[in-house]
Amino acid sequence: MARFEQCLYADETLERKLGFPRFVKSRGILYMSGMLSADENFDLVGASDMVAQIERIYTRFEAALATQGATLQHVVSEILFTTDLAALSAAAHVRRAFYERHNASIPASTAVQVAALALPGAMLEIHPTVEVPE
């Protein structure tokens, strides 16, 4: 169980409304809650468009990391949950470009196809682990 002092927020109002923090920090590692292609009201962005969803997710991801003094260079692993592995594979260049802009390698990754995600129409949810810069 996470202790309250380990819970960190990137968008505290929304995250408290949803019932969980963006991060739990333990021993220099940020364990992140899953991230979907959502706007500030948690409405889906880019329905049925994998490229748009990847762009939205990684833009949000960069902003969330910045609240903790981190960038995509600090990401050590990701689990990608998708409703369409073929669409994710076809749009992989978009994800790769985000990492390249930070002079970072794609982290250790696992992709899993699922029947559905938390937001209807969502095609991708990422679950990253981040090593916090010292």
pLDDT at 23: 78
| Residue stretches of the chain with pLDDT short of 70 | 1, 7-9, 15, 21, 133-134
What pLDDT, on the 0 to 100 scale, is given for residue 129?
95
What's the pTM value of the predicted model, to 2 decimals?
A: 0.89
How high is the pLDDT of residue 7?
A: 67
Under a CB-based contact definition with an 8 Å cutoff, are residues 132 and 28 in contact? Answer: yes
Q: How far apart are CA 22 and CA 15, in angstroms?
A: 7
Helix then strand count (H, E) for the chain reads 4, 6
**CATH 3.40.50.720 applies to domain 4-131:** no
For residue 10, what pLDDT is reported? Answer: 72
Q: What is the pLDDT of residue 130?
A: 94
What was the pLDDT predicted at 42? 87
Strand partners, 77: 108, 129
pLDDT, residue 111, reads 98
- Nearest 10 degrees: CA dihedral of 12, 33, 75, 69? 10
Rounded to whole angstroms, the Cα distance separating 133 from 70 reads: 6
User: Are the beta carbons of 133 and 35 closer than 8 angstroms?
Assistant: no
CA dihedral 85, 58, 28, 67 (to 10 degrees): -160
What confidence score (pLDDT) does residue 37 get?
Answer: 96
Residue 79 has a pLDDT of 98
Closest CA to 128 of 81, 66, 59, 76: 76
Task: Give the pLDDT confidence score for residue 107 in this predicted structure.
Answer: 98
